[in-house]
């Protein structure tokens, strides 16, 4: 099973992950009929991942925890 991790444990792991910045396109207003399907949102603090939202992605929690 999976357990609940402490904030300091999570921050220690997050501090080990470094992501190189990449130019991202400006956000656009969704067009009618657009389907968002699946997605991943990374929350960053000082260029370090501190949180992740998995949108319609199932059974991938172990991978998200490694990030």
Give the pLDDT confidence of 14-48 residue by residue, as tens digits: 555 555 666 667 777 778 877 778 888 899 999 89
Residue 60 lies in a domain: yes
Q: For the range 46-55, what are the long-range contacts, defined as Cβ-Cβ under 8 Å and sequence gap of 24 or more?
A: 47/18, 47/19, 47/21, 48/14, 48/15, 48/17, 48/18, 48/19, 49/14, 49/17, 49/19, 50/10, 50/11, 50/14
> Residue 9: is its pLDDT beyond 60?
no
Residue 29 lies in a domain: no
- Boundaries of domain holding 49: 38-67
Residue 55 lies in a domain: yes
Residue 21 lies in a domain: no
Number of domains into which the chain is organized: 1
Strand pairing class (39-45; 48-55): antiparallel
Q: What's the confidence (pLDDT) of residue 44?
A: 92
Q: What's the confidence (pLDDT) of residue 16?
A: 59
> Residue 4: is its pLDDT beyond 60?
no
């Amino acid at each position: 099973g999976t357990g609940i991790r402490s904030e300091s444990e999570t921050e220690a792991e997050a501090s080990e992950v470094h992501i190189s910045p990449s130019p991202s396109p400006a956000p656009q207003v969704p067009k009618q009929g657009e389907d968002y399907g699946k997605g991943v949102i990374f929350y960053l603090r000082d260029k370090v991942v501190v949180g992740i939202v998995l949108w319609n992605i199932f059974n991938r929690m172990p991978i998200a925890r490694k990030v």
